[in-house]
Structure 1
Amino acid sequence: MSRPDLTSPAAASTHRAGRREWVGLGLLALPAVLVSMDMTVLHLAVPSLSADLRPTSTELLWIVDIYGFMIAGFLITMGTLGDRIGRRKLLLVGAAAFGVASVLAAFSTTAGMLIAARMLLGVAGATLAPSTLALIRNMFLDPQQRTAAISMWFMSFLAGAAVGPLVGGALLEYFWWGSAFLIGVPVMALLLAAGPFLLPEYRDPTAGRLDLASAAMSLAAVLAVIYGLKQVAADGLALPPILVIAAGVATAVVFVRRQRALSDPLLDLTLFGERTFSVSLGVLTLAAAVMGGVGYLTAQYLQLVLGLSPLQAGLWMLPPFGAGIVLMMVAPLLVRRVRPGLVIGAGLALAAAGFVVVSQVGDNAGLPFVVTGTAMVFAGLMPVAALGMDVVINAVAPRRTGAASAISETTQELGFALGIALLGSLGTAVYRRRMTDALPPDSPAQAADAARDTLGGATGVADQLPAGLLVTAGQAYTDGLQAAAAASAVALAAAAVVAATLLRRTPTRSRQEPLTATPDGDASHGPTSTGADPHGSRSGPA
């Protein structure tokens, strides 16, 4: 039987979504809001959970960024699994797991327990993004409606990141740190209750083989390298962490060779042969890394150094998000007249200048520098993220947009977690070196170890330390923040030059071919496409 022509007006009206689909879209937006909110809320909770659980500096970094690493490690795997068992089923299973893990995290009694709960949250979170996007693509067959639905879904991620500090700050102002994790429980309960009635089921009969070995190798490679880097930052160069890093690199090499040999690889490496794709992906990863790192470091600075309450810190984090959202809405209009490479380069340069401002913070009068600098950072990087994703998708053929979007989402999640790990490790290394020199030899051993490890630890044992040492700890943390901001500024300035040079031939939006509907109901740009994979397989935010 021949397939219907979805390009005809009659077919378009037949396949237009109705009230049920739009209500279902609102339901699918909830987990997107929650996933992005979870990270920004945790940044504000770090000082209070540090005082309660007393994690080491390495444990604290794992608490914060293991979530992002697990999402990045399982996104593509979950995309394939959803095609095989059903997208709605995977979404509901993930929602239930996310709710359970949220409760475990909220009532954790040790740092190890919280790390394990965050790992489970990451695995569950990896089911949400690809499942929701694939369902949206199946619910909205009309190309124009689908474009609007995906845009609304993408904006829900930004909304979660923006309201996260405010909601989290309000909760932490009146409740214990675990309340920040309980936000997800009622949201997931609503999804579980309404999902079976509002969301369709979908399975891909041509889904690829689920390669568990590749998934395990990719995750092992990432975690081994990051673990080694964190140990080096905490304890200096030593043979054990060097061996762990080497093992991670070797695993990555084996993973790459395996992908090249497989007929249905977990990661399509041939996409990286396109220069525009590779450069744009690198820009997206770097942008996510520095945004993750600055959010982690400044949230602690506002509370532990400047002495703001969680609610006050959350309120001061709203202007940077607002600046980023405004510029992100302006950027699509700008690229109609200016080449995207120049706009992306300018955004990276603005963010680099913002980090220069942040690097000038002081230990007792840095609020204007933090707010102004981070506002410049977000105003520069959030448009870069949106435009970079568009360039990535347009750099590949229509049939490969699903794989391209999956790789883009994976690298951005990985970049966000890497930024926290690397910039956090840099800040920790500077802090530990300053505190090691400042602690008197006769300080109580246990208190000295806690003060040397983290600023939160120093705050918790302040009564056991010599007078004025807590001020010294604040200065040491400020030095670490300055070093991380300076390193970010250098990296972004270099990336701005690279992006403006290598992406200079990317055409403006006005020079691209108009959108047309394909027989699969996708929107395409002639030889390149911003349309969705008709099956939504292995895909993340578009």
Structure 2
Amino acid sequence: MSRAGAREWIGLAVLALPTLLLAMDATVLYLAVPHLSADLRPTDAELLWIVDSYGFLVAGFLVTMGTLGDRIGRRRLLVIGATAFAAASALAAFAPDPVFLIVARGLLGVAGATLGPSTLALISTMFPPGQRGLAIGLWATCFSAGIALGPIVGGLLLKWFWWGSVFLLAVPFMAVLVLTAPFLLPEFRDPDAGRLDLTSVFLSLAAVLPVIYGIKQHGGVIGGISIAAGLVFGGLFVSRQRRLADPLLDLRMFGSRSFSVALMAQVSTMTAIGGIYLFVTQYLQLVQEFTPLVAGLWLMPSAAVLVVSSLVTSRLAARYAPAHVVGVSLALAATGFAVLAVAGGLAGVVTGFTLVYLGIGPIMALGTELVIGTAPPEKAGSAAAMSETAMEFGIALGVGVLGVVGTAVATDGQPLLEAAPAEFTAGLNAVAVLCAVITGLMAVLVLRLLRPGHPAR
């Protein structure tokens, strides 16, 4: 394949739109939580579902959508998903009650699951190996920027509009994507792909959704039964994939050490981010009593270092072994979480969170490149889906598990948003301790498992 030209680079800019919005939609809601809580009056459980249902269903459907794009066409699926995402955004913006908003966020997750794998798979088609690393690095930068800019954009919108405006932001951007995709993006599908195995689709959902539901039940008999059922269906899913000639998920990709270790790093990192993000954004509003706009501005240092660290990852990867880049980045993130674990004031929280984001950027960029680079072109959609699943599932798991731990520490029966400043800060510190342990252990594992000079397979 010859070097990519102007059309491919402009196409990459178009692909950046859904990538940016997908990431923003995972975080843009955080600063709107006090506003929608005052309007819709959700319970603590409903509030966690409102925040988490989006990433939950994205994670549940990514594998299916990644494989579906390989079969029916990646550009076609991207356009369908963008249209559905815009429609679901409008529903969420005008939700009249918590249950309606939870359902709308879930529909956003299903539509969002079509976008991530399609964008990454199209990038692997549009760019030759010599330029693919840079293109994926720019994609990861957009994803990082979306996560970081979500609360800032949300703060600006909430200064002038109601909480539903944070969802309407997606509509014009998705319209641009739908209109320009046929002219700027190539179509690609696997010519030898078999039919989509609906039984595997059911088993994949039956494995993921009960586990998350069980986690949200905070233990107990129902939660334990739900998790056990999910694990059983997960075993059936794996067994079926090994028998099928055209599996929904090609398990042979896990034979690559780079693939498996990168996924481990992505899951653990995003679990930590998902757990701490809600507490940091709410700390700025509930403890420091900042307006949403001012709270968003205090998050700008972390947003800036996240974008910069993602951009320089391709240069770091050219000079140093992936094990060193990912391992050191995880250690840096662990240091940031350690600062948050002892922070008692604004300076400590902002400093710790900025250090966390400085370490997160290279993990997201290089981890994604390692995953995509191990897959053949016809399986790029499936590989991209696994990378996206790792990140989205990690965020959902972090909110669902670590969020519950932090809430238990911060409250004594009263709603989280009514916790006293000292108790809320204690909850943030407790979650940060767990995040420091998770990322610190993962740094050691990466340096051990992905050793410099060790064969990738």
Q: Same fold (TM over 0.5)?
A: yes
**How much has 1:178 moved relative to structure 2?**
0.6
TM-score, normalised relative to structure 1: 0.78
**How much has 1:309 moved relative to structure 2?**
0.7
Tell me, yes or no, if structure 1 residue 311 matches structure 2 residue 293: yes
Deviations 1:274-329 (A, max 9, x none): 44432332111111111222222211111122111111111111111222333334
Kindly provide the amino acid, as one letter, of the partner of residue 138 in structure 2.
M
Counterpart of 1:243 (choices 210, 221, 225) is 225
**How much has 1:261 moved relative to structure 2?**
2.0
Kindly provide the amino acid, as one letter, of the partner of residue 347 in structure 2.
P
TM-score, normalised relative to structure 2: 0.91
Counterpart of 1:533 in structure 2 is none
**How much has 1:197 moved relative to structure 2?**
4.0
Change (3 A) 1:396 1:157: closer
Tell me, yes or no, if structure 1 residue 257 matches structure 2 residue 239: yes
Deviations 1:37-91 (A, max 9, x none): 1122111111211222121222111111211121222222112322333333322
**How much has 1:18 moved relative to structure 2?**
4.4
Kindly provide the amino acid, as one letter, of the partner of residue 308 in structure 2.
V
Change (3 A) 1:356 1:151: closer
**How much has 1:137 moved relative to structure 2?**
4.5
Deviations 1:380-422 (A, max 9, x none): 1221222333444556678766544432222122112111211
Give the Cα separation in 2 of the matches to 1:44 and 1:256: 39
**Preserved CA contact (<8 Å) 1:58 1:231:** no
Question: In the TM superposition, what are the counterparts of 1:482-501 in structure 2 within 5 Å?
Answer: 482-501=429-448
Change (3 A) 1:309 1:240: same
Change (3 A) 1:208 1:304: farther
* Identity in percent: 53
**How much has 1:331 moved relative to structure 2?**
4.1
**Unmatched 5+ stretches in structure 2:** none
Tell me, yes or no, if structure 1 residue 214 matches structure 2 residue 200: yes
Tell me, yes or no, if structure 1 residue 160 matches structure 2 residue 160: no
Supply the RMSD in Å over aligned alpha carbons: 2.6
Give the Cα separation in 2 of the matches to 1:80 and 1:282: 21
**How much has 1:263 moved relative to structure 2?**
2.0
Change (3 A) 1:208 1:66: farther
Tell me, yes or no, if structure 1 residue 413 matches structure 2 residue 360: no
Give the Cα separation in 2 of the matches to 1:155 and 1:481: 27
Tell me, yes or no, if structure 1 residue 58 matches structure 2 residue 45: yes
- Relative to total residues, which structure has the larger helix share, 1 or 2? 2
Give the Cα separation in 2 of the matches to 1:280 and 1:312: 36
Question: In the TM superposition, what are the counterparts of 1:102-501 in structure 2 within 5 Å?
Answer: 102-138=89-125, 140=126, 144=130, 148-232=134-218, 237-362=219-344, 366-393=345-372, 403-432=382-411, 435-436=412-413, 452-455=414-417, 458=418, 473-501=420-448
**How much has 1:113 moved relative to structure 2?**
0.5
Give the Cα separation in 2 of the matches to 1:282 and 1:127: 23
Counterpart of 1:92 in structure 2 is 79
**Preserved CA contact (<8 Å) 1:105 1:117:** yes
Give the Cα separation in 2 of the matches to 1:141 and 1:395: 15
Give the Cα separation in 2 of the matches to 1:77 and 1:210: 9
**Preserved CA contact (<8 Å) 2:67 2:382:** no
**How much has 1:209 moved relative to structure 2?**
2.3
**How much has 1:200 moved relative to structure 2?**
4.1
**How much has 1:106 moved relative to structure 2?**
0.6
More displaced 10-residue stretch of structure 1: 48-57 or 368-377: 48-57
**Preserved CA contact (<8 Å) 1:341 1:506:** no
Deviations 1:15-41 (A, max 9, x none): x5444x444333222111111111221
**Preserved CA contact (<8 Å) 1:70 1:219:** no
Give the Cα separation in 1 of the matches to 2:31 and 2:453: 39
Change (3 A) 1:478 1:368: same
**Preserved CA contact (<8 Å) 2:67 2:249:** no
More displaced 10-residue stretch of structure 1: 343-352 or 142-151: 142-151
**Preserved CA contact (<8 Å) 2:275 2:402:** yes
More displaced 10-residue stretch of structure 1: 154-163 or 243-252: 154-163
Give the Cα separation in 1 of the matches to 2:46 and 2:92: 14
